[in-house]
Structure 1
Amino acid sequence: MSGSSTRSRDLALTATFAAFIAVLGLVPAFSPFGFAVPITLQSLGIMLVGAVLGPRHGASAVLFFLFLVALGLPLLAGGRGGLGVFTGPSAGYLVGFPISAAVIGYLIYRHSAPYNLPYALAAIIFGGIVVLYLIGVPVTAWRADISLRAAIVGSGVFIVGDLIKAVLAAIIAGAVHRADPRLLPRRRG
C-alpha cells in the first residue's frame, strides 16, 4: 500500500472508531446507587479502539472523539457534551480514555501478529480497567468531594461490567484482526 493510501486508510479508521465510540453513547447510561459516574458502553469502545488500531491511532481516535465532546456535541452517554464534562466527577475517566487506548494498543501491537486472545484480554484488562481506574477513581474522589476510599468502593460496582466489556472487546478485536491481518504488525525474525 502506498504512503498516501495508508494515511487515508488510517484517517478513515480513526474517524470511524471515533464515530463508533459516539454511537455507543446513544445507549442510555445509568448511575447505580446514585454514584457520580455513570455506567456506559463507551468504555467498550475505548477498549476496542486500542485493541484494533494500536497505540497511536487508537489514542488519536479517542482524542478526536473528546475534541468533538469539548466542542459541545452531545456525544457522551446521556447526551452530555461541552467543556463542563471535563470538570465533573467523570473527568478522570475522560482524560484516561486516550491513555487507556494507547496502553492497550501498545501492549497488543508490541506482541505482534498473530492475535493472541488470552494475551489481548490481559492487555485490555490492564489498560482498560487498571490504568483507567488509576486515573478515574482519584479524580472522581476529588471532583465529587468524597474520600478516596468511598470512590474506590463506589467504583467496585463497575468491575463486573468492565470485565464483561473486556472479554467482548478481546473477542471482537480478534475477529477484526482475523478479517484484516494487516492491522497488526508482523513479528520480526
Structure 2
Amino acid sequence: MNPSLNRHGAQSLSMVALFAALMAVMGLIPKIDLPFGVPITLQSLGVMLAGCLLGARRGLQAMALFLLAVAAGLPLLSGGRGGLGVFMAPSAGYLVGYAFAAGVTGALMARLPAGTPLRAAVSAFAASVLGGLVFLHALGIAGLVALAQMPLRQAFMVDLAFVPGDLVKCVLCALVVHTVAKALPDWRMGGRA
C-alpha cells in the first residue's frame, strides 16, 4: 500500500468530517423563523465554504455526511432539529440542496482563477453566488412548490427574503477564502489538482 495515497485518503476523510462538524457547529447559532416554514440559518455559509475550500467531490461528501447525521436523528440543524421529518418540511429542498450546492460551488471554484488571495476571494464570491445562492435557492424553491404546495411565483417571492442574507454569506465566504489563501498559499482551492 502506498503511504502517500494512504495519507491523502486520511486527509480527505478528516477534511470531510471537519466540514460536516463545522455545519453542526453552525447549527448551534439560533435560527430566525419566518412564517412560511423556512428559517434563516448560518448553515448555508458552511455549504459555500465546503465547496470553495474542499472542492466539488469532498464538499458534496461533507454535506452528505452532515445530512446523513441529521436524517439519523441528530439535532444538528438550527433550532435543534433533526430526524427524517425535516426532509418533509417546506425547507427540505434547501436541505437536500446542501450537498448538491456544495458540489456545484466546488466545481465552479476549481474552474475560476485562484492564483493570488484576491483572485481566490473574488472567485469564491462568484462560486458562492452561483452555487451556494442561485443553485441552492432553485432547489429550495422546488421544495416549496413540491412540499408546501406553493405556486411557483409565490415560492420565488418567498425565497427572495433569503437573498440579502445569503449575499452577506457569500462575502463572508470570500473573506474566509482570502484569509486561507493568504495563510496557506498551497491550499488547493476548489479541490484543484
Question: Amino acid of the residue matched to residue 108 of structure 2?
Answer: L
- The Cα shift of 1:139 comes to 1.1
Which residue number corresponds to residue 119 of structure 1? 123
**Unaligned residue ranges in structure 2 (runs of 5+):** none
Q: Cα deviation per residue 1:41-88 (whole Å; 9 max; x = unaligned)? A: 000111111110010111110000001001000001111111111111
Q: How many equivalent residue pairs?
A: 187
Q: For residues 184 and 81 of structure 1, do their structure 2 counterparts lie closer, same or farther at Cα, with a shift above 3 Å needed?
A: same
Check whether the contact 1:92–1:137 (CA below 8 A) recurs between aligned residues.
yes
What secondary structure sits across from 2:179 in the alignment? helix
CA distance in 2, matches of 1:183, 1:164: 24
What secondary structure sits across from 1:2 in the alignment? helix
Check whether the contact 1:137–1:148 (CA below 8 A) recurs between aligned residues.
yes
RMSD over aligned Cα atoms = 1.9
Check whether the contact 1:52–1:177 (CA below 8 A) recurs between aligned residues.
no
Question: Amino acid of the residue matched to residue 141 of structure 1?
Answer: V
CA distance in 2, matches of 1:40, 1:111: 27
- The Cα shift of 1:119 comes to 2.4
**Unaligned residue ranges in structure 1 (runs of 5+):** none
Question: Amino acid of the residue matched to residue 28 of structure 1?
Answer: P
The runs of 4+ residues in structure 1 deviating greater than 6 Å are 185-188
Check whether the contact 2:114–2:123 (CA below 8 A) recurs between aligned residues.
no
Which residue number corresponds to residue 85 of structure 1? 86
- Percent of counterpart pairs with the same letter? 45
Q: Cα deviation per residue 1:141-184 (whole Å; 9 max; x = unaligned)? A: 22112211111111111110000000101110221233233331
Taking structure 1 as the reference length, what is the TM-score of the superposition? 0.92
Check whether the contact 1:112–1:184 (CA below 8 A) recurs between aligned residues.
no
What secondary structure sits across from 1:67 in the alignment? helix
Check whether the contact 2:54–2:106 (CA below 8 A) recurs between aligned residues.
yes
CA distance in 2, matches of 1:18, 1:66: 9
Does residue 147 of structure 1 match 2:160? no
How do 1:4-153 residues align onto structure 2 when only pairs under 5 Å count?
A: 4-32=6-34, 34-111=35-112, 113-114=114-115, 115=117, 116=119, 117-153=121-157
CA distance in 2, matches of 1:187, 1:86: 32
- The Cα shift of 1:112 comes to 5.4
Check whether the contact 2:124–2:173 (CA below 8 A) recurs between aligned residues.
no
Check whether the contact 1:90–1:139 (CA below 8 A) recurs between aligned residues.
yes
Taking structure 2 as the reference length, what is the TM-score of the superposition? 0.90
